[in-house]
Structure 1
């Protein structure tokens, strides 16, 4: 399997994440508003370098495919995302560790990016299931995941500890291969990606 695919549509280019992306992603990564309800917190260049090195090690181990997000409309790098928690023998992945500059929240970038990732997951990788997880307190993320046509499956109570030490409840969502054709048409068919 290709662990460094390039995913692209009219709006977004997802490039395999590399250390060379540090300079382009640093202005986004240092925005503290991105990390208020995340498990990690990036505050310095060294934090971002460590974050990317860990993502690259996970890719090398075959459990993750991290990407740098390039917004073609804004002509700039906008953040990062990945396929993670990959369990290929069971044909499932999670889409997560997504952070996008707040300046582009609500711009359609996230929907274009998720479309590219879901399409690749179901139509190229031939997966059975794509999962999403988020902090119960992250209403913006929960609404964005639901807008993708995903099903909320439940809440794992006292599931993880955030970078601030808060114990979080985690909301689980999924989309399965049998749902993808209908979701592709109903949710994404109105967009010109």
Structure 2
């Protein structure tokens, strides 16, 4: 279906209960100035979906279908995380629950640092990338979800820097800017982040 079909309904459910993620999306949707009301699923008493997919794409679609099924409205979902090649892509789709408890940023960051500590060699950079996949479904059984992907490359610090953002932001270093993701303002981050990239592709699809 064309983008105008879901926009005509006037409402798009955001399939997330993550406060940090919701805040970033609210800013991004405001910048897009879309003629649609975006409602975080928590306002509709929708709990998080079971994320048992094996990829960001699968989990994004699962979450979008879950929110669409319960709400009866079109839904958009994000599945995102940090991939570190030297760790075989971990934490990957398990980023939010890397240390066991979902959303425990401090524990997740500590586990990542501990796993990387023995792999660091003479100040050599450890590459990492944030990945975001957005899935938009018209309805729960939509056979053709729209997918938008963003990848943000950087390095993984040996210790946290910065107070902004959430998740692994304090450990994500951008050498070309000389700052960590957590040292950037929300507006600065949204311009170049994985989520910002995916949202720009989403915006472009509406203008096609």
TM norm structure 1: 0.28
Structure number with the higher strand fraction is 1
Structure with max Cα Rg = 2
Structure number with the higher helix fraction is 2
TM norm structure 2: 0.27
